[in-house]
Chain A
Amino acid sequence: MKTECRGSALGSLLFGAAVWLAGALPASAFIAYVSNEKSNTVSVIDTDKWAAVKTIKVGQRPRGIEFTKDGKFVLVAVGDDDTIEVIDTATQQVVDKLPSGPDPELFVQDAAGKILYVANENDNTVTIIDIERRARIGDVQVGVEPEGMAISPDGKILINTSETTNMAHFIDTASRQIVANVLVDARPRFAEFKRDNSELWVSSEIGGTVSVIDPAKHAVITKIEFAIPGMRKEAIQPVGISITGDARTAFIALGPANRVAIVDAASHQVTKYLLVGQRVWHMAFTPDEKYLLVTNGVSNDVSVIDVAALKVIKTIQVGELPWGITIAKQ
């Protein structure tokens, strides 16, 4: 049964019967997949045990990682192999790959989970992939070193940030044309919409700020700045952003500052800094938004934040240089 599963094409996997290894895992609520950039593995975390329960070997330099919308697969960009690998969540093995461009890093899916938009750092393009057909169906030329990717809640606008051009590019998903470019501070890494489409947040790693953009007017409304006593300014490098569904609270990973900033998402004021592991990078909520898991690259672990209490409650050891994280129901 397993062999059959590995050998079949992704299309039939996506739409065929899922292989469920009943009893292989305890009946826990959620499962998190963490890409370990240096060890070329993905760690699987059981959120009931708050422990890594499995390590999956993947290609070289895994970074961007996302569950497919149906929860059956996890996609992981393996940049040094110039592809995106597909992990079957039932067997927890790599079963296929997608034709991304060179050096894929971050990607985003449309709401239906049919189209994948991939930032290819090496050739200044965003590649558009039909997931079911595993085919490249288009490219969009963007700025130098595309990185952050986000899709607007209504699905109409794709955002790509380019690290050396220092812009958020607004791409019409229907025409696949750039409709606007908004300058932000140096080295924009990540983009995140509020779920009501009222704001787009873009983190600038080297600039040290998060730009809050009005997506309708294509204009920066404000920039969130950070100050931590005793911490030099250059060490505060915002990367990952998560905003709660009610748009009240935002969490921003500050990289080598080893902290997650908590921001009142309405007033854009920083209310608290939580000490986590070293070089905190990306993050993901559990689907019930009770917990936020953040990857700490240099300390090789994941911190668990209790969202209601705004406290770090647990640290979980994973592989080397944990980078991205994605969480879904088991």
Chain B
Amino acid sequence: MIRLLVGLIGVGALATGAVAAEPVEIGIGYLGQASGKQTLSLLEQPANNDGAAGARLAIEDNNTTGKFLSQHFTLQESRLKEGDEVAAAAVALADQGAGFIIADLPADALLKAADAVRDRGAVLFNAGAIDDRLREQDCRANVIHTAPTRSMLADGLAQYLVWKQWKRWLLVLGSHENDKLFAEALRRSAARFGAKIVQEKVFEDNGGARRTDSGVTLIQRQMPVFTQSAPGYDVLVAADESQVFASYLPYRTWDPRPVTGSAGLVPTSWDGAHDQWGAVQLQNRFVTLNSRRMTARDMQAWTAVRMIGEAASRVNSGERKAVLDFLKGPDFSIAAFKGQRLTLRDWNLQLRQPILLADGRMVVSVSPQEGFLHQFSELDTLGVDRPETRCKLQ
């Protein structure tokens, strides 16, 4: 009877006055790590549900829409503890019916998870790892990336610094692998957009605690000396993903210069202060649900779950292949409070997105900056573009 009614009303419309048919169940998995990283600032210490909280909100948003379409979304969360096997955890999620898995994992673990669930047809959404290699030589046809890449973040920052005419950079990088990768992305951006790195300095991590009762006195002596006798520069750019030193630099450099990169003005996919383009509504919903502000990881997970919901509503199906075909097709786009539609780069399944530049209290600017043009999409001025890609999707 209900089906008949729907049929009578016509394509594209759904009767909701009557009792809806049994909803289509769409299972989404969330695979993350149990412990977050250590940060220099207590304020930046990630919450236990960092990332997952965004996915949970998007499940609610999808279900509000889903009640009009007879679709119901559920989230199954899995947290890896020290020593847990990532492949087994991913397979377990897939076997429990999660056709789509939101992953917040380091690069190698992400690849293991993707390869483990590949013959089960599950699709991973990388909502955590920013490594370019996951979208280049190590790209996978069953991994969609909502996290931006290091090169997108670096380009977003570089465009603003060049627009600001701060073209002479003092690059300070940490001694860990991730820090070196970010420094490499920043070098690439400088070359692309016409900035000059006047000097590079490495801040060696010799161990030691991030928190000590009288550390501040020592830092106040160390940082000016560390940045002394640099050639003339406009801005200090720090590459310190490991959070060893960058947050100590603002207000402590020998010369009075702004700090950017891993501290000061930071490029990011989201910030708790972002309030443009209707973002306040999302921020309010998030705070109501989680009693804290929304982070970049939360937003990357929210976007991934919303992409699944958006595709399911467009194809009116929860069927994995139909959803995936729509996501990979030319008609897909997602609204994510960044002032324009976001789409997927078809050559490596990376979500195109503006990059916010935030100082910890406010969003200072949003890249791409005016004047950075592109023949296809100005969002492709951020990160590795189609002609340069090394990805062969398979």
Contacts and interface: CB of A to CB of B under 8 A. Distances in A.
Contact of B65 (A144, A180, A205): A144
A218 B12 contact: yes
A165 B58 CA distance: 11
B15 A183 contact: no
B341 A165 contact: no
Contacts of A166: 65, 310, 313, 335
A28 interface: no
B1 interface: no
B314 interface: yes
A180 B13 contact: yes
B68 A143 contact: yes
Contact of B12 (A124, A183, A186): A183
B313 A144 contact: no
A207 B68 contact: no
B359 interface: no
Given A186-B333, A186-B334, A180 B340 contact: no
A320 interface: no
Contacts, number: 96
Given A145-B278, A232-B378, A182 B13 contact: yes
B17 A177 contact: yes
B282 to A, nearest CB: 8
A167 B65 contact: yes
B13 A219 contact: yes
Contacts of A237: 340
A217 interface: yes
A256 B15 CA distance: 36
A207 B333 contact: yes
Nearest to A220: B12
Nearest to A164: B61
B341 to A, nearest CB: 5
B218 interface: no
A163 B69 CA distance: 16
B165 interface: no
Contacts of B12: 182-183, 218-220
Interface string B255-288: 0000000000000000000000010010011000
A180 B278 contact: no
Interface in B9-23: 9-17
B6 to A, nearest CB: 10
Chain B contact patch, size range: 20 to 34
A217 B281 contact: no
A162 B10 CA distance: 21
Nearest to B60: A144
B377 A232 contact: yes
Interface in A164-185: 164-167, 169, 177-183
B64 interface: yes
A213 to B, nearest CB: 9
A218 B13 CA distance: 6
B341 A206 contact: yes
Contact of A122 (B9, B68, B281, B313): B281
Interface of A: 103, 121-122, 124, 143-145, 162-167, 169, 177-183, 186-187, 205-208, 217-220, 232, 234-235, 237, 256
Interface of B: 9-17, 61, 64-65, 68-69, 278, 281, 284-285, 306, 310, 313-314, 333-335, 339-341, 377-379
Given A121-B281, A166-B310, A218-B12, 16 more contacts: A103-B281, A144-B61, A144-B64, A144-B65, A145-B278, A164-B65, A167-B65, A179-B15, A181-B69, A186-B333, A186-B335, A206-B335, A218-B13, A219-B11, A232-B377, A237-B340
